[in-house]
Structure 1
Amino acid sequence: MTDLDQKILQILIDDGRRSFADIARELGISRVHVRDRVQKLITDGVIEKFTLIVNPEKIGSTVSAFFDVEVDPQGIEAVAEDIARQPEVRSLYIMSDMSSLHIHTLTQDSKALEDFAHRNLFSRKHIVKVNCKTLLSRIKNRRGGPRI
């Protein structure tokens, strides 16, 4: 990836709606060149998709919770796949110890969070331990960047 590609990516991370013409003007290159570079980044899998960031409080999801879930290693993939399909789950990661999941959820309120935990965690086979922390305040939001 070139320095130009890095600059284009940073512009799109900051504002995915920027037009090729705007990016071209900012970088001092042609609109066609920007379009070609972005298309190559998509083709090469560097850009996976364009998306947006929604303020969860504006859509009624006021409880942001982070679960660390210890799972029997033989069940971790099945548990992860099933929990990832739940609408409350915003991100889910299998951690390097291969026996724990890190899950971020958004729910309307504490009752909905408790319902999620009972439905998906407390009664599930292979889950050994559940730790949950709720968000108090956002200091820095992740806007784009590498997929982790």
Structure 2
Amino acid sequence: MHFKDLDETDTLILQHLSNNGRLSNAELGRLVNLTRAAVRERVNHLIDSGVIDRFTIVVNPLKAGKMLSLYFNIEVEWMKLQAVVEELTAAEEITNVYQMSGKPHLHVHALLDDAQHVEYYMKKLQAIDGITAVESEVVIARHKERGGLLI
């Protein structure tokens, strides 16, 4: 991916760190033809400027025991939207919550253990004050997926 505000070297650094965030500055320097110190300076600048938001890991949910990935389209009352968002973002099952354009609704991703967990969670969603309708879809295959923005 090309970013108009980054030069080619910064873009390469981001690509390499996206593939392996554990690269040392020396290893990264070899990959982008810079010294360890120059790489450290560039990475620190990317952090300070907010381009790099954080360093993290990517967990494979299937191998960690979360067997079902679901997307919910949740219609909400306008006046209760923020309270619903707060309740959803506090739930450990929920990984992403997006407010969508158009009618007041949220697009929500959740990782769940099994069919019984889905049934339990659907009942939990139906009990949240302000939710007027819930549609759910189970992910059956992943063809392209990005955690954060992998470059």
Q: TM-score, normalised by structure 2?
A: 0.89
CA offset digits 1:4-36 (Å, max 9, x no partner): 211111111111111111111011111111111
Q: Distance in 2 between matches of 1:36 and 1:79?
A: 42
Partner of residue 92, structure 2: 87
CA contact (8 A) 1:14 1:143 kept: no
CA offset digits 1:78-129 (Å, max 9, x no partner): 111111110101111111236111111001101112212212x101221111
Q: Distance in 1 between matches of 2:122 and 2:106?
A: 14
Partner of residue 39, structure 1: 44
Partner of residue 127, structure 1: 131
Structure 1 residues 65 and 25: alpha-carbon distance in aligned structure 2, compared to 1, 3 A threshold? same
1:69 to 65, 69, 74: 74
Partner of residue 29, structure 1: 34
CA contact (8 A) 1:14 1:144 kept: no
Unpaired stretches in structure 2, ≥5 consecutive residues: 1-5
1:3, distance to aligned residue in structure 2 (A): 2.3
Partner of residue 116, structure 2: 111
1:143, distance to aligned residue in structure 2 (A): 4.4
Amino acid of the residue matched to residue 86 of structure 1? A
Unpaired stretches in structure 1, ≥5 consecutive residues: none
CA contact (8 A) 1:76 1:98 kept: no
2:60 aligned with 1:60: no
Q: Distance in 1 between matches of 2:147 and 2:20?
A: 9
The 10-residue stretch of structure 1 (61-70 or 41-50) with the greater mean CA deviation from structure 2? 41-50
The 10-residue stretch of structure 1 (15-24 or 135-144) with the greater mean CA deviation from structure 2? 135-144
Amino acid of the residue matched to residue 34 of structure 1? V
Q: Deviation above 3 Å: which 4+ runs of structure 1?
A: none
1:145, distance to aligned residue in structure 2 (A): 1.3
CA offset digits 1:21-73 (Å, max 9, x no partner): 11110111111111111111111111111111111111110010000111111
Q: Paired residues, what number?
A: 145
Q: TM-score, normalised by structure 1?
A: 0.91
Structure 1 residues 45 and 61: alpha-carbon distance in aligned structure 2, compared to 1, 3 A threshold? same
